[in-house]
Amino acid sequence: MEKHTILTLSIVNCQLSICAFAMAQTRPNIVYIMTDDHTAQMMSCYGPSPVQTPNLDRLAHEGVLFRHSFVANSLSGPSRACMLTGKFSHKNGFTNNEHGIFDGSQQTMPKLMQLAGYQTALIGKWHLVSTPTGFNHWDILEGQGEYYNPTFLHQDGTRSVEQGYCTDVITDKAIRWMDQRDKSQPFILFVHHKACHRDWLPDLKDLRAFEDQTFDLPANFWDDYLGRTAAQDQEMNIASDHDMDLIYDNKIYLPGDASRLSELYLNYVRRLSPEDQKTYFQFHDSLSRAFKAHPLTGRALTEFKFQRYMRDYAKVTKSLDENVGRLMRYLESHDLLRNTLVVYTSDQGFYMGEHGWFDKRFMYEESLNTPLVMRLPEGYRRRGEVSEMVQNIDYAPTFLEMAGAVVPPDIQGQSLVPLLKDNSPRKWRDAIYYHYYEFPAEHMVRRHYGIRTQRYKLIHFYPHTAAAQDTTHRPRIDQWELYDLQTDPTEMHNLYGNPSYRKVQRQLHRRLRQLQKQYDDPIEQQIP
């Protein structure tokens, strides 16, 4: 080869590698932290909260907080599938936890990120049954996973029990992966915690936290569900011992006690070493003895269960917040903060006693909402609160656009990038669509779909078809609900059919039909 050709080639090569190097530097890394069942009411940057979450708040204070952040289907597996694909449940095929197996051969955001030159990694809860695809590295909990000494399923198909508290273990693994990654490429890391899922088993170091705190009952704790049949006919009441188990959920247990879920409870606690079990039971035995010395009934018992629930949830949240702090310190000390998007969200919101409930699923505000805060990389100048309505189907196109990849046209979400620049765009979506499917199932929340605008919400609880065999023989429910969120933010008054809202109702029906058409949800043809 002639001398000048060699020179030209090496210059081209050099330019290419500079270009590749510059790309790697300018395209942001993404650390995508997602928890399970963590709700905005238990996050202090969202407003008055009974717990402080300084590390999560830091993300919001240094970045943006989405005030109107919603899921498309308020349940773990479905939410995760929406987020991975940028599509609603009827398109990605994973409509419910009970029967869903995620089709990992379909197009997903991690696969597209890989094609765009990103390293992709997933640590923690996955909950999609099939093994993950599109990740260079994964290390996951199986199903719901465990809080104490959790079992992990590794990429090579082996399993191992990892010593420690789940939230710490997941964070350790995430940090280890970042340390060992190939540093020539940008990365997207999914850090997906089990916290704060039921049954809220705390880190032993936090056993005594919040024990002096009395939590206020939400104003609608003693809801009578007037005019809302589906809300009346669920199984997620704190008051009900069937729904919230005194042993499993509230940890009021002494040897010999038994309940529907006591074996499950003991199996989880017995994962601790004998010494740690001693610490655990010493604390809980004294609570249980005190309770049994003065047994409670009726409303006093329900309020006791509420306090225990809130304390355990708060303890689990405390460890989560501290671990987010630990991750942030790693990014900071490795000079990664400048060029990393840090996202914090949950797979859905949760009821902290509102309507008398725990759990999620309903399209009412607490579980339709999911917390979403982001610390932005260089070049994205938006700060403070974002009030536009966003959904978890928007994460995929957002990450893809930030990575400089083309967003495929079949993705149904909308990139949030315009919202992360200086100012809000003039035009944004005026309504979001929701569809929940898992019935009959645990907690017995009816199937429903609906629309939410900035001010109103229209929901249809529809009777399930014959294909879904209901062996529970519960009455069929076919009911519409309409809420004015401005005058009734806690959704206590179903205004459907109220003559003063006739025009609003008609408009919402029309817009709902448009959205079902736009998103191509076949329910439109199935329900008269």
Please tell me whether residue 36 binds Ca ion under the rule CB under 5 A: yes
* Cα distance between residue 366 and residue 477, in whole Å: 22
Helix-helix angle 76-85:395-402, to 10 degrees: 30
Please tell me whether residue 37 binds ligand SGN under the rule CB under 6 A: yes
Cα 91 to chain centroid, rounded: 20
Residues 6+ apart with CB under 8 A from 123: 138, 139, 140, 170, 173, 174, 177, 189, 190, 191, 192
State which of positions 140-159 bind ligand SGN (CB under 6 A). 144
524 binds, among Ca ion, ligand SGN, none (CB under 5 to 8 A by kind): none
State which of positions 70-99 bind Ca ion (CB under 5 A). 76
Q: Which of 57, 139, 199, 521 binds ligand SGN (CB under 6 A)?
A: 199
* Cα distance between residue 86 and residue 107, in whole Å: 10
Q: Which CB atom, from 97 or from 392, has the smaller least distance to ligand SGN?
A: 97
Sheet of 64-70, strand order:
159-161, 151-154, 137-141, 119-124, 187-192, 29-35, 340-346, 372-375, 64-70, 384-391
49 binds, among ligand SGN, Ca ion, none (CB under 5 to 8 A by kind): none
What string marks each residue from 224 to 263 as x (binds ligand SGN by CB under 6 A) or -? -------------------------------------x--
Q: Name the one range near ligand SGN by CB under 6 A: 195-203, 214-222, 369-377, 501-509.
A: 195-203
Q: Which CB atom, from 73 or from 415, has the smaller least distance to Ca ion?
A: 73
Please tell me whether residue 369 binds ligand SGN under the rule CB under 6 A: no
Q: Name the one range near ligand SGN by CB under 6 A: 191-199, 298-306, 459-467, 495-503.
A: 191-199
Please tell me whether residue 76 binds ligand SGN under the rule CB under 6 A: yes
State which of positions 132-151 bind Ca ion (CB under 5 A). none
Q: Which CB atom, from 37 or from 521, has the smaller least distance to ligand SGN?
A: 37
Please tell me whether residue 365 binds ligand SGN under the rule CB under 6 A: no
Please tell me whether residue 443 binds ligand SGN under the rule CB under 6 A: yes
Residue 36 beta carbon to Ca ion: minimum distance, rounded to whole angstroms:
4
Other residues' Cβ atoms within 10 Å of the Cβ of residue 469: 8
State which of positions 86-125 bind ligand SGN (CB under 6 A). 97
Q: Name the one range near ligand SGN by CB under 6 A: 39-47, 193-201, 404-412, 498-506.
A: 193-201
Please tell me whether residue 36 binds ligand SGN under the rule CB under 6 A: yes
Please tell me whether residue 171 binds ligand SGN under the rule CB under 6 A: no
Give the residue at shortest CB distance from ligand SGN: 76
Sheet of 479-484, strand order:
431-436, 448-453, 456-461, 479-484
Report helix, strand or coil for 32. Answer: strand
Residue 96 in contact with residue 78, Cβ under 8 Å? Answer: yes
Q: How many residues can be counted in the chain?
A: 528
Q: Which CB atom, from 37 or from 481, has the smaller least distance to Ca ion?
A: 37
Distances in Å between the Cα of 87 and the Cα atoms of 91, 108, 268 are 6, 10, 35
Residue 344 in contact with residue 33, Cβ under 8 Å? Answer: yes
Q: Which of 27, 193, 198, 318 binds ligand SGN (CB under 6 A)?
A: 198
Residue 71 beta carbon to ligand SGN: minimum distance, rounded to whole angstroms:
11
What string marks each residue from 305 to 344 as x (binds ligand SGN by CB under 6 A) or -? ----------------------------------------
Residue 392 in contact with residue 72, Cβ under 8 Å? Answer: yes
Other residues' Cβ atoms within 10 Å of the Cβ of residue 515: 20
442 binds, among Ca ion, ligand SGN, none (CB under 5 to 8 A by kind): ligand SGN
Q: Name the one range near Ca ion by CB under 5 A: 11-19, 322-330, 346-354, 398-406.
A: 346-354
Q: Which residues pair with residue 456 across a beta bridge?
A: 484
Q: Which CB atom, from 37 or from 322, has the smaller least distance to ligand SGN?
A: 37
Q: Name the one range near ligand SGN by CB under 6 A: 17-25, 113-121, 194-202, 513-521.
A: 194-202
Residue 340 in contact with residue 29, Cβ under 8 Å? Answer: yes
Q: Name the one range near Ca ion by CB under 5 A: 6-14, 274-282, 345-353, 443-451.
A: 345-353
Residue 145 beta carbon to ligand SGN: minimum distance, rounded to whole angstroms:
10
Other residues' Cβ atoms within 10 Å of the Cβ of residue 459: 29
* Cα distance between residue 170 and residue 269, in whole Å: 19
Residues 6+ apart with CB under 8 A from 155: 137, 138, 139
Q: Which CB atom, from 433 or from 436, has the smaller least distance to ligand SGN?
A: 436
Other residues' Cβ atoms within 10 Å of the Cβ of residue 425: 10
# chain residues binding ligand SGN, by CB under 6 A: 14
* Cα distance between residue 79 and residue 306, in whole Å: 27
Site residues (CB under 5 A) for Ca ion?
36-37, 76, 347
Q: Which residues bind ligand SGN (CB under 6 A)?
A: 36-37, 75-76, 97, 144, 197-199, 261, 347, 359, 442-443
